[in-house]
Structure 1
């Protein structure tokens, strides 16, 4: 089998590397020094540069001005963005665009997708549910009355909601169906409560009080929520991989230059063993990520549904990125805690990614349920 990336996927990586090469992670606001949200908005100049480089339109089909690339390409770009802690809603926009591409009506696709490709419309996605622990699709009720739907409920920890134009969120109908609603963030009845993430970024608790929306803004395909959730989870694994790769490179560089007793730290056996273990973590994160992204892209059959591969990828991403940043902090010593050095920012972002969409334990439980429902024998 050929495991190399396609020319289109490699071109996306090269374009992303060119854009992100000008982004300095030490310019990311520090949650350790902030007394509240680190910023009210995402990096708008970077967003415009991504649009000019045609990177925002990767999931958008060609007939709407995009490239029509697959989840593997999207994960490759997300991996590069995490290496510099890019403060843009790239994951949420990619996941929402991919979902709309496959599950929205033709009219809604024609209205929304061209604006996403040009960067003129910013989407976010709600996947945390009411508390961050309950099933997200049960957080909001959706009641249909003819061509109008009424939404009531709460979603927590929604990133970029204060600055996004629309939010794509799951809801459930009285008969137990799950739908997705694409709601303008300034719609009457929708209010945003301030929340602060581990990274110090401004998140929102979205409250919907009899929010009315038209039928064209509702995705009734029962598979739509699975598509959105799966790509958000897999994309989070891609972010963790990129962050982990950058932190491990920082650690290698530091221990190769820092000397004790006349020798570089990297030559000490205890240091070498720890960094080798983290390299193994990184390779496992990479292998499980591409397996999950490949299953999403191809729909290939396997012993378990794609959700099983996604759960395995998230388990490795959560555990791996945590161990990588912990080892990095340990081997950097006091220098790693210096707020003038960017490692503490990576540590905060790693903790956010570890817990986003469920920690390893939650996905281990989900994997166990899948194994019970689909015996490998």
Structure 2
């Protein structure tokens, strides 16, 4: 395999660096010091700039105004966004739109994709299940009116259940909700935020961002707005997880850079602390973590983008990437806090914001232990097969 980035992928990353160049997390209050969310909405001005730079339509085909790039291109842009803690639903909107494009009905693609690529319609995904630890597709049941004995039909779908910690739930126009049918199939329902039977309750994340508990009470969704294709949710979940790894990598790289700058200037006993062996060794260990996070990220993104066959399904590569992302980003911010000393706890200094985001990314879509268990199950099944 060749992990050399194409000219189009490099151009997307360069455009992202230009858009994010003026964004800084400084000045945002500590989540611990606020009574509610740090903000009621995402950064709409930044969202408009991303749309103007065609960075919201990376995964869409030309017919929908997109660039036709793949998961690798998206991850390059997400990596840059995390370096400045960009408060935009870039991952959720892009991944949801890509799932609609790949698996949705012609009516749904026509209604949503071009507008999502221009930033006019915002999509998010309910991916955390009822508690944040159980499979998201099991948290909501879906049945179709007029079903026959086999559970199939062509009427409206009726959804019941609860999805917790839905990112940007109060700001998105549509939430893509995985659900389980009576015959044990997974479907994806594109649910309008303001819709009969849809109830939101505010939740605050570790980062201080506003999340929503999404409660569906016999919410009726028309058949064209429900994706029933096999593998749609599994593909979307893999892309979301890999995108989370890209965010963790970008955040970790920025934090290690901050730590390097600080250690080079902070003097103790008449010398910069960067010259002390104990400091250098810790920084070197975190550099190794980041490089491992990077190579496993590109392996997972490449498998999703190419659909390349292998001894194990792409979910194995995604699990490995998330294990490294979760553990690596946690170790990186902990080392940064340690080497920064008191500055690491100063809410006027941005490191505390990176630490909060790192903890959120570590646990999002499953911590390392959950993916280690999933990887073990894959290996056992492959061995037995």
Task: Please give the alpha-carbon distance, in whole angstroms, between the structure 1 residues aligned to 2:27 and 2:227.
Answer: 39
* RMSD (Å) for aligned C-alpha atoms: 1.1
> How far apart, in 2, do the equivalents of 1:228 and 1:169 lie?
11
Unaligned runs of 5+ in 2: 147-154
TM-score by length of 2: 0.96
1:279 matched to 2:287: yes
Measured at CA, do residues 182 and 29 of structure 1 come closer, stay the same or move farther in structure 2, by a change above 3 Å?
Answer: farther
- Report how far residue 299 of structure 1 moved: 1.0
* Pairwise CA distance, 1:301: 1.6
Q: TM-score, normalised by structure 1?
A: 0.98
State the 1:134 CA deviation.
1.3
Task: Write out per-residue CA displacement over residues 126-158 of structure 1, whole angstroms, 9 at most, x where no aligned residue.
Answer: 010111111111111111014211100000000
Of 193, 210, 215, the match for 2:218: 210
CA distance in 2, matches of 1:30, 1:181: 35
1:337-376 equivalences under 5 Å are 337-375=345-383
Instruction: Output one character per residue of 1:56-89: Cα deviation in whole Å (capped at 9) or x when no partner.
Output: 0111110011111100000000000000000000
Aligned pairs for 1:171-182 within 5 A: 171-182=179-190
Q: Secondary structure of 2:315's match?
A: helix
Matched with 1:59 is 59
Q: Name 2:87's counterpart in structure 1.
A: 87
1:323-338 correspondence runs (5 A): 323-338=331-346
Residue 29 (structure 1) shift: 4.1
1:156-171 paired onto structure 2 within 5 Å? 156-171=164-179
What displacement does 1:302 show? 1.8
- Once the two structures are superposed, what CA deviation does each residue of 1:136-195 show, in whole Å capped at 9, x if it has no partner? 111111110142111000000001001110000100111111100000000101000111
Select which of 192, 197, 201 maps to 1:189.
197
Mapping for residues 108-257 of structure 1, pairs under 5 Å? 108-146=108-146, 147-257=155-265
Shift of 1:376: 9.5
Q: Establish whether residue 309 from structure 1 lines up as the match of residue 313 from structure 2.
A: no
Q: Give, in whole Å, the separation in 2 of the partners of 1:108 and 1:80.
A: 30
SS at match of 2:67: coil
Q: Which residue of 1 aligns with 2:9?
A: 9
Q: Please give the residue correspondences for 1:250-269 in structure 2 after superposition, counting only pairs within 5 Å.
A: 250-269=258-277
Where does residue 305 of structure 2 map in the other structure? 297
Cα drift, residue 3 of structure 1: 2.4
Greater mean alpha carbon deviation, residues 320-329 or residues 63-72: 63-72
Partner SS for 1:25: coil
Runs of 4+ aligned residues of structure 1 deviating over 2 Å after TM superposition are 27-30
Aligned to 1:22: 22
For residue 25 of structure 1, report the CA deviation from its aligned partner: 1.7
Retained in 1: the 8 A contact 2:27–2:348?
no
Quote the Cα distance in structure 1 between the aligned partners of 2:329 and 2:3.
24
Structure 1 residue 35 displacement after superposition: 1.5
1:152 and 1:2 map into 2 onto residues whose CA distance is: 45
Secondary structure of 1:304's counterpart equals coil
- Aligned to 2:109, the other structure's residue is in SS state helix
* Number of positions where the alignment pairs a residue of Structure 1 with one of Structure 2: 377
